[in-house]
């Protein structure tokens, strides 16, 4: 194939528009690829005026273009052409006027369809505008940290949030650490330290101190970029001011805590009343019935049996009062601690029901705070009550263990189980109460269960709660 034929094939197959037209806008030549991109064959376009492919609103653009070509001999810009199907496409053109060696002046032009590019640019601008509005409304800013220089660069929205006296858009990682609340510094960098190229994202919240002494809660979502050797090169992310939300959560937590404490205090008061007053009266009643039977001579066997039946009822009521008092508030929890109380709970339930509760000997060397101990006892109480009602098995297990940084309580059985949906909803199984108590002590609850596959409830409460570069 000769070179001129080769170049002709390239021109004909190109989707870029290559054409010639006269000074009135009449097409004289057009390449095959561009013609078909417009939905035509070249023969359908030759000797037709460009005005036929323009909407009335943009024909003035063609007139201005033809005037420019006549006056300057060249022109460039954008032109909107309609395809055969009626779609409008935008072409970026560069044209020149040729007058030498041709019988009449003609315009040679090349144009590229930029419709998709312009639409993508418009969509990007709109997306950036929406993001900017969201950032402003949500009190957020973006950041970029360079590992080589330790320099952090932030977007301008940070100025209104941080209120730092120096330049808030640029400082170093060490300067940020100095501003982090002392109680949060140890955990501040922890989420980033353990990241890998396979797991490069993190989420954390922490407090920073403003120059005026006020505390600001920030929440970061970031991504770490690594080099070929797995070393950190860069971190980018978004930081949001969540101070208002945190204050609301703290207020809600305070209210919830007071409600739970009030409930527990009332339980303890009623338990004391039952044990010290009603329980003692029932004990006196039992003693009185025994003495009455011994001191009254001449009772018939029938009357004596009736008296014994009454004494048995009184003993049963007394036992029920004792059990109710213990369920409301176990005195062992205050005097002997959580381990003895859980052991007593398991033993009592095993006596009262067909369910045998096995308590695994725990290893909890450190003292357990009172609120944590009460929380774990109430959860065990609720979980075992559910096992008695719903599991349908003869044995359940309770395990209490110390994992150094937290205390773990597990209650399991191999019984009926239930669907995960009902566990998530937390309806009728006491999970709402469990979660609320755990939230107040920073604990976590996981429930594993399937129909006919048993249930495993695992609770973990950290020994200390801490929160984690912006």
Q: Could you tell me which residues come within 8 angstroms of residue 347 by beta carbon, excluding any fewer than 6 positions away?
A: 357, 359
Most confident of 112-121, 262-271, 396-405: 112-121
Measured from the Cβ of residue 37, the count of other Cβ atoms closer than 10 Å reads: 18
User: What pLDDT score does 24 carry?
Assistant: 87
pLDDT band at 469 (very low <50, low <70, confident <90, very high): very low
pLDDT band at 1 (very low <50, low <70, confident <90, very high): very low
- Sign of the alpha-carbon dihedral angle for 306, 311, 317, 320: negative
Q: Per residue in 333-368, pLDDT tens?
A: 777 788 888 888 888 888 878 788 888 876 655 678
User: What pLDDT score does 225 carry?
Assistant: 93
Q: Is the pLDDT of residue 429 over 70?
A: no
> What's the mean pLDDT in 120-129?
77
SS3 376: helix
User: What are residue 106's DSSP bridge partners?
Assistant: 98
User: What pLDDT score does 465 carry?
Assistant: 46
Q: Is the pLDDT of residue 283 over 50?
A: yes
User: What pLDDT score does 245 carry?
Assistant: 84
List, as one string, the DSSP characters of 332-400.
Answer: HHHHT-HHHHHHHHHHHHHHHSSPEEEEEEEE--SPPPHHHHHHHHHHHHHHHHHIIIII--SEEEEEE
> What's the mean pLDDT in 166-195?
85
Q: Per residue in 304-335, pLDDT tens?
A: 888 888 888 888 888 788 777 767 777 667 77
User: What pLDDT score does 151 carry?
Assistant: 93
Q: Is the pLDDT of residue 468 over 50?
A: no
Contact between 145 and 469 (Cβ < 8 Å): yes
Q: How many CA atoms lie within 13 A of 52 on its CB side?
A: 12
The token pair at 45 is 């376009």
The residue among 200 and 391 whose pLDDT is bigger is 200
Q: Over the Cα atoms of the chain, what is R_g?
A: 41
Q: Per residue in 374-424, pLDDT tens?
A: 888 888 888 888 888 777 777 888 988 887 778 888 988 887 777 656 555
Q: Per residue in 4-59, pLDDT tens?
A: 565 577 777 777 888 888 988 899 888 888 888 888 998 999 999 988 888 777 78
Average pLDDT across the chain, whole number: 81
The residue among 363 and 459 whose pLDDT is bigger is 459
Q: Is the pLDDT of residue 89 over 60?
A: yes
User: What pLDDT score does 253 carry?
Assistant: 67
CA distances for 416 relative to 343, 391, 412, 430, angstroms:
25, 5, 12, 17
The residue among 410 and 3 whose pLDDT is bigger is 410
Q: How many CA atoms lie within 13 A of 155 on its CB side?
A: 15
List, as one string, the DSSP characters of 321-332.
Answer: HHHHHHHH--HH
Question: Checking DSSP bridges between strand 395-402 and strand 356-363, what pairing results, if any?
Answer: parallel
Contact between 192 and 469 (Cβ < 8 Å): yes
> What's the mean pLDDT in 435-464?
82
pLDDT band at 200 (very low <50, low <70, confident <90, very high): very high
Q: How many helices (H) and strands (E) does the chain have?
A: 17, 16
């Amino acid at each position: 194939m000769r070179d001129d034929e080769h170049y002709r094939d390239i021109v004909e197959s190109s989707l870029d528009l290559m054409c010639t037209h006269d000074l009135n806008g009449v097409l004289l030549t057009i390449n095959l690829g561009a013609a078909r991109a417009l939905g035509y064959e070249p023969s359908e376009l030759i000797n037709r005026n460009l005005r036929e492919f323009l909407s009335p609103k943009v024909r003035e653009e063609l007139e201005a273009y033809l005037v420019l070509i006549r006056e300057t001999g060249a022109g460039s810009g954008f032109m909107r052409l309609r395809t055969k199907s009626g779609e409008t496409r935008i072409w970026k053109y560069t044209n020149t006027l040729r007058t030498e060696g041709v019988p009449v002046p003609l315009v040679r032009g090349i144009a590229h369809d930029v419709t998709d590019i312009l639409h993508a640019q418009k969509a990007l601008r709109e997306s950036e505008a929406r993001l900017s509005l969201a950032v402003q409304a949500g009190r957020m800013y973006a950041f970029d940290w360079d590992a080589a220089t330790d320099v952090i660069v932030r977007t301008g929205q940070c100025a209104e949030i941080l209120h730092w006296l120096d330049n808030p858009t640029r400082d170093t990682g060490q300067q940020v650490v100095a501003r982090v609340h002392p109680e949060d510094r140890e955990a501040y960098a922890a989420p980033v330290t353990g990241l890998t190229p396979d797991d490069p994202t993190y989420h954390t919240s922490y407090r920073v101190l403003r120059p005026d002494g006020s505390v600001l809660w920030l929440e970061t979502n970031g991504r770490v970029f690594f080099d070929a050797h797995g070393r950190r090169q860069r971190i980018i992310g978004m930081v949001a001011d969540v101070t208002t939300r945190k204050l609301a959560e703290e207020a809600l937590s305070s209210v919830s805590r007071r409600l739970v404490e009030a409930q527990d205090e009332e339980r303890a008061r009623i338990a004391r009343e039952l044990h010290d007053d009603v329980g003692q009266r029932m004990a006196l009643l039992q003693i009185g019935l025994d003495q009455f039977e011994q001191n009254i001579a001449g009772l018939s066997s029938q009357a004596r049996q009736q008296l014994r039946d009454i004494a048995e009822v009184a003993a049963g009521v007394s036992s029920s009062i004792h059990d109710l008092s213990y369920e409301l508030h176990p005195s062992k929890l205050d005097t002997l601690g959580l381990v003895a109380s859980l052991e007593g709970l398991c033993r009592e339930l095993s006596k009262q029901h067909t369910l045998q509760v096995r308590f695994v000997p725990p290893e909890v060397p450190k003292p357990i705070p009172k609120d944590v101990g009460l929380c774990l006892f109430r959860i065990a109480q609720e979980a075992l009550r559910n096992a008695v009602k719903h599991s349908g098995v003869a044995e359940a297990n309770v395990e209490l263990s110390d994992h150094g940084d937290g205390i773990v309580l597990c209650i399991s059985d191999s019984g009926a189980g239930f669907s995960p949906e009902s566990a998530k909803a937390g309806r009728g199984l006491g999970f709402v109460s469990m979660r609320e108590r755990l939230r107040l002590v920073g604990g976590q609850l996981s429930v594993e269960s399937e129909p006919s596959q048993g249930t495993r409830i695992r609770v973990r409460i950290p020994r200390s709660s801490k929160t984690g570069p912006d």
